[in-house]
Amino acid sequence: MYENTNLVTDAVNAILNSNILGMLYDNLSFDGQSGEKWMLPIVNKLTGGILLYQEPLEERVDNLYAPFSNPLIGYASSDANNTTDVRRGSRNLTESKGIDGGYKFVWDFATSQANGTISAIALTNRIAGIGQENGNNYLVRLGTFSSQNDSYSEESYRQNKRTYIMEGYRMEMITRNNSEKALLKKVPEEYLHAGLVENLISQEAFDASEVTEIDLGHYPYWIHRTGSPSKGDYDIPNEDNTNIRSHFFHSADGCWYGIARKTNQKYSRTYRDTEQFDYVSYEFYMDKIEKGRCSTQKIEVPSGVSDFYSIGMSGKWLMCVSSDNNKLYRLDTTNVANLERVTDYNYNSSNEFSYIVDDDIVINGWYFEDGHPAQKIGSIGYQSYCAWGIHQMARYKTYMLREWVYNHSRYCNYKELFLYTPYLATINNLASPVIKTADKTMKITYTLTETKE
């Protein structure tokens, strides 16, 4: 028997008091409930699950999520485990009950369940306590909103934008196929503080309060031609149009990174007064924008690679997938000579989709931490009529917001609110670890009581 006191974090308070864009009570349908019933009563919903970690957790009220590097040994929800998941225990519905001034949770783990070293215990959402093995329970959609007008700027809500919900603005790095200039736009948009006569959920913000023009020194993708009898050597854009190319992606270090491609062509002949050129090779470069200036370094890529996609940041790594062999690579933004194949992961673009969460990337349903697949998150849904912006999500405390534009007979703005469920509602670091083995059962009694200060 081990007994410890615990720290109550800000997770439940954040859920109850963070109403992003006023969406929290707007036609929600989640966990079989509507309105606010998905969160009440708190003891069965918001603190209805439990998480067991191998390593201690940092004891801070604002520490709402354990790092992926801390192995999750076990978990349990508000019901019995009727699956084959050996990490999941069962709520003891007989012994769990309300007590004077609080509630007593009791969970049972059989000999086959939650075996390993347990150093920390945390209450969590009952959905997280079901476990990822039994569904997409880590990132769940609470509600959606779709506006009904066509007044959209193509420069807004792109997949490479960076949203700061608490500060009330987003950054948009805009590059175009036929321009050597990039525009960094700061667009104010209120997310948290609604006035009495404002309907934030239906607002779209397009006008920038600040615009910085940045000279790249090249097109995002360009063609370099040599040997022209009339022009000599010269560059042209790979696509001579004004369409936006989501070229740069924000990093946690405050810089923007992108992969540029140069196609080398050599003059071959003139046919009917038109000069003809033959393909020679591709060259790839890493662009870095820092403090309004762009620097470019050449990347040595594997033979046969013609392009990259599913691009995003993970720590210092710029993640990218080769279009030729569907292999996943990570590029060290601090040393472009270090381009590594991610060998402990198989990329499959046919059934799950990649998206960005602030300065991190989820690739085919796997959350990457520091360039490595760390946690299975799952797909968050995909619509075939997406126009732009579907890949970008913004995180605020326990919530995530996705904003994108779709075209279904007309252009509409679509907003979705998600709950990231495996939060730490409480933190209990054991004085000494529990080593659970297959010859032992385990009972966890967790009591929460209300105190007056």
Number of alpha carbons in the 13 Å side-chain half-sphere of residue 49: 26
Provide the residue-wise pLDDT of the chain in tens; the chain has 453 residues. 666 778 999 999 999 999 898 888 666 667 777 767 788 888 889 999 999 999 999 999 999 999 999 999 999 999 999 999 999 999 999 999 999 989 999 999 999 999 999 999 999 999 999 998 777 788 888 888 888 777 788 888 999 999 999 999 999 999 999 999 999 999 999 899 866 566 777 777 889 999 999 999 999 999 999 999 999 999 999 999 999 999 999 999 999 999 999 999 999 999 999 999 999 999 999 999 999 999 999 999 999 999 998 899 999 999 999 988 889 999 999 999 999 999 888 787 655 678 999 999 998 888 999 999 998 887 787 777 788 888 899 999 999 999 988 887 788 888 899 999 999 999 999 999 999 999 999 999 999 888 776
SS3 of residue 11 by DSSP: helix
Residue 15 · residue 39 · CB < 8 Å = yes
Q: What is the DSSP string of 101-165?
A: TEEEEEEEE-TTSS-EEEEEEEEE-TTGGG-GGGSS-SEEEEEEEE-------TTSS-TT-EEET
- Residue 117 has a pLDDT of 98
Nearest Cα to 311, choosing from 291, 328, 294, 287? 328
Question: What is the rounded CA–CA span in Å between residue 441 and residue 108?
Answer: 8
- Residue 62 has a pLDDT of 97
- Residue 294 has a pLDDT of 98
- Residue 297 has a pLDDT of 98
Nearest Cα to 9, choosing from 114, 120, 141, 101? 120
Residue 323 backbone phi and psi in degrees, to 5: -75, -15
Determine the length of the chain.
453
Q: Helices (H) and strands (E) in the chain — how many of each?
A: 1, 35
Q: Which residue has the tokens 């997280």?
A: 128
- Residue 119 has a pLDDT of 97
Residue 421 backbone phi and psi in degrees, to 5: -75, -30
